[in-house]
Structure 1
Amino acid sequence: MGNTEKSVLKGIYAVILIMFTILSLSISGSIKLLDFGPILFGLSSCILIAYSNFIIKHFFPEGDKYLLIISAFLAQFGLVMIYRLDTSLAIKQITWFTIGIAVFIFLVVFLPDIQKFHKYYNFYIIISIILLASTLLIGSEIKGSKNWIRIGSFSMQPSEIAKLFLIFYLAGSIEKIKDLKDAFKVALPVFIAIGFLVIEKDLGGCLIFFGIFITMLYIGTSDIKYILLGITSFAGGGVISYFLFSHVRKRIFIWLNPWKYKFDWGHQICQSLFAIAEGGLFGTGLGLGHPEFIPEAHNDFIFAAICEEFGLLGAMAIILLYLILVYRGLRTAIYAKDNYSRLVAVGISSMIAFQVFVIIGGVIKMIPLTGITLPFVSYGGSSMLLNFASLGVLQKISEEGYRANG
């Protein structure tokens, strides 16, 4: 292990233990009555990160190890905040985090050459559309969006899985585009998928699907006219959706003037803005704020809770970590050994980037609120598993690219 990587890991372990120790002190209020629950969580996380990094470094030394390190570090900010809000949810979250790490390692170990998947691109978009359509038949409405499927006490979002299948579809089909007719054939299934998301009131999913599509289309074709046509079509669909669907109009009204609806529709965003303002530059301190006043603070609005207790400096640190993660993903794309792997890496990187932009933009009222999870940080099992699975694919592409380039 290089000296830089060792230094980064030591710094991460120190920050994790400091955060959970401070949380322990804030809960107990006294060193004599120290609550060791948060400290145990911090130690468990450090051991898990160290063990998983050792496995990847020892058995697969060629790839980009920072993909795992950065994502695991981001998950700790979410875990400490979720523990601070609800211990029972934190126990579930660290379980999903552990499973996510296991999925990451499993894919790196057993996933075959990514290039072998390129020929099945039509199968991927069929699966993606089936997953999105399934919620219309057997889905449940949660937080206003009918994009969840419940199985007993467990609930999942099929759209999370559909994102990865969409990326594999686009990576295989975009390279076959020769003219406008081909571009239309590729785009049509994507807009059908986005149509299902509109019907299910999953506006965040719409933006992310379109962001992935337009980014991969531009990287794969370098033809600006396809991008302009795509943006024009999406904008037209947005205008039509505004007049057809009341929930779209409601989100626009809240965005334009949340204070008018502060006791009703706009309550979440108003509480979010209050929390961000209360945190200021340095934050109130971990355990000293009131994130419990923010609806869905453990999920959609966890960034606002972080802003309140960690301050804008802490929020900027989170954003910088995401920028580094996306940069490492795009770097993986540059050194990929073939065009298909390159497009898959671009798709996964853009998926993370757009998801971060959409949720943070909504929480700070820069764009209309959509209600999606912050990757690796927000509470949620299906999101955690999908994101680590996506990084596992990125790690595999990184390994293959290093071997191909010597």
Structure 2
Amino acid sequence: MDFVHRRRRGAELFLLLLALVVGIGAYAAVGLGVEGTIPADIAAYGGWLTALVVAAHIAVRLTAPYADPVLLPLVAALNGLGLAVIHRLDLAYEAKGRDNHDFAQQQLIWMTLGVVLFIGTLFFLRDHRTLQRFTYTSGLAAVVLLLLPFLPFLGREINGANIWISFAGFSFQPGEVAKVLLVIAFAGYLVLHRDALALAGTRVLFVDLPRGRDLGPILAMFAIAMMVLVFQNDLGSSLLFFCLFLAMLYVATERPGWLVVGGLLFAGGATAAYFAVGNVRNRFNFWLDPMAYYDQSPGSGQLVESMFGMAWGGLIGRGFGNGMPDRVPYAESDFILSAIGEELGLTAVMAVIVCYGLIVERALRIALISRDGFGKLLAVGLGSIFALQVFVVIGGVTGLIPLTGLTTPFLSYGGSSLVANWVVVALLLRISEQARRPVPRLEEPEPDSETTQVVRVL
């Protein structure tokens, strides 16, 4: 009996309907909880959100019919929930007389741009292996993007971090695009050189350490990470870039020795940064004893208010409108998870973490079934972006690790991150489509064909 390859687009559509229920339902719940009535613009908001999700689904159906059916619904649910929570914070800011309280509207615009780029990526990139031709070009472009904030009249410093560029009234964080280009560059490089990097070196305590002449790539990546940390004062991006490369290097070579070398470099760099970079030292001290620095400047008030809010929310939360998530500075971006924990409780936080876990699981599944080495490493790298970013963000908000300043993918307010992450999902879907598409079968010759007749004569 022939095996039937199912496209599962119907399952994706059903899951997208559930995701829309989450997004639009949360938006309506915000209006009921804060103002006592369903928002007047619920039809326009719900219609626009539905149009974006349906457009993305149609693009997948037309260009990647065998792609993973779970990724897009997960992303749509997280993005819809994030929009509702940001709208809740907008209402709180408006009640307190703050001028800037249109973050949800701006985030919806950024989501629209992200979906447009998502569709464009699927339409114009029909084979992910094409990206392997641009291995070194992607690496060079990533470094150039990381250097843009240092240019005069273009770079912009916000909250002590020099990671933004401003042009024509718009602000953009080029590091969000650089992380995608770095994954492409890492995957292309490791596919070509993983045999050399996997050669045995010196054995120390049952661990094969790499040869000295093979340490160049990891030392170069360590130098880039330290450049980002020292000159841009951005601990989160520095940690993300280095751990991303280390994870891909380990997957490509399957040698624990690289983890040992990377761990030693990270420990040495973190120690040096603690004594040399004031921002790193402050965040480490806040993590050890946040209450001791609450009233200082810079202080740990953001972390303390977040922890109190989540503790007040408890298991099921206070409900939309019954908490005070706006007490946390930048709750719409860095600390949006604390707003969810306060008003929706630990249950919602765990549900969000499960959604992120499923995204990472699907990415690793795509890597396992991918038929080419470049696709495997590219899927691992893209999945690692989500895994590392969510870990350092949630770990920082909950006090597990020092704060890093990264945004929560698809939930937090931030156009740069949202647009880049939609492109990442498009790349994962493209890789999965190539992996899940059935291999064409060679047709057997007809019994009375000319070839068969020649064989019979012989």
**TM tier, shorter chain?**
over 0.9
Q: Is the 8 A contact 1:21 1:39 kept in 2?
A: no
Q: In structure 1, the residue corresponding to 2:102 is in which secondary structure?
A: helix
Deviation at 1:239, TM superposition (A): 0.9
Q: Is the 8 A contact 1:251 1:368 kept in 2?
A: yes
Q: How many residues align?
A: 403
Q: In structure 2, the residue corresponding to 1:370 is in which secondary structure?
A: coil
For 1:108-257, what aligned pairs fall within 5 Å after superposition? 108-138=122-152, 139-175=155-191, 176-177=193-194, 178-179=196-197, 180-181=211-212, 183-199=214-230, 200-257=232-289
Q: Please give the per-residue CA displacement for 1:147-190, whole angstroms capped at 9, x wherever unaligned.
A: 11111331111111111111111101123031435642222331
- % same residue: 35
Q: Please give the per-residue CA displacement for 1:265-324, whole angstroms capped at 9, x wherever unaligned.
A: 101000110111111100011122111111000000001011111100001110000001
Matching residue within 29, 41, 45 for 1:41: 45
Which structure has the bigger radius of gyration?
2
CA distance in 2, matches of 1:357, 1:113: 31
Deviation at 1:2, TM superposition (A): 6.0
What code does the residue aligned with 1:102 have? V
CA distance in 1, matches of 2:10, 2:116: 26
Deviation at 1:137, TM superposition (A): 2.9
CA distance in 1, matches of 2:10, 2:66: 16
**2:20: which partner in 1?**
13
Q: In structure 1, the residue corresponding to 2:163 is in which secondary structure?
A: strand
Structure 1: 5+ residue stretches without partners:
none
Q: Is the 8 A contact 1:21 1:38 kept in 2?
A: yes
TM-score norm. by structure 2 comes to 0.84
Q: In structure 2, the residue corresponding to 1:146 is in which secondary structure?
A: strand
**2:36: which partner in 1?**
29
Q: Please give the per-residue CA displacement for 1:83-140, whole angstroms capped at 9, x wherever unaligned.
A: 1112511111011111111111111111142223224322222222222122223422
Structure 2: 5+ residue stretches without partners:
1-7, 91-100, 198-210, 441-458
CA distance in 2, matches of 1:376, 1:38: 21
**2:424: which partner in 1?**
390
Deviation at 1:58, TM superposition (A): 4.2
Q: In structure 2, the residue corresponding to 1:36 is in which secondary structure?
A: coil
> Within the alignment, does 1:287 sit opposite 2:321 as a pair?
yes
CA distance in 2, matches of 1:120, 1:28: 52
Q: Is the 8 A contact 1:375 1:384 kept in 2?
A: yes
Give the alignment's Cα RMSD to 1 decimal. Answer: 1.8
**1:379: which partner in 2?**
413
Q: Is the 8 A contact 1:251 1:369 kept in 2?
A: yes
Matching residue within 112, 116, 127 for 1:98: 112
TM-score norm. by structure 1 comes to 0.94
Q: Is the 8 A contact 2:370 2:431 kept in 1?
A: yes
Check 1:38–1:311 CA distance in 2 against 1; reply closer, same or farther (3 A cut). Answer: farther
**2:365: which partner in 1?**
331
Deviation at 1:244, TM superposition (A): 1.3
Q: In structure 1, the residue corresponding to 2:41 is in which secondary structure?
A: helix
Deviation at 1:403, TM superposition (A): 2.6
Q: Please give the per-residue CA displacement for 1:41-100, whole angstroms capped at 9, x wherever unaligned.
A: 234213321332133124431111322111111011110011111251111101111111
CA distance in 2, matches of 1:316, 1:254: 25
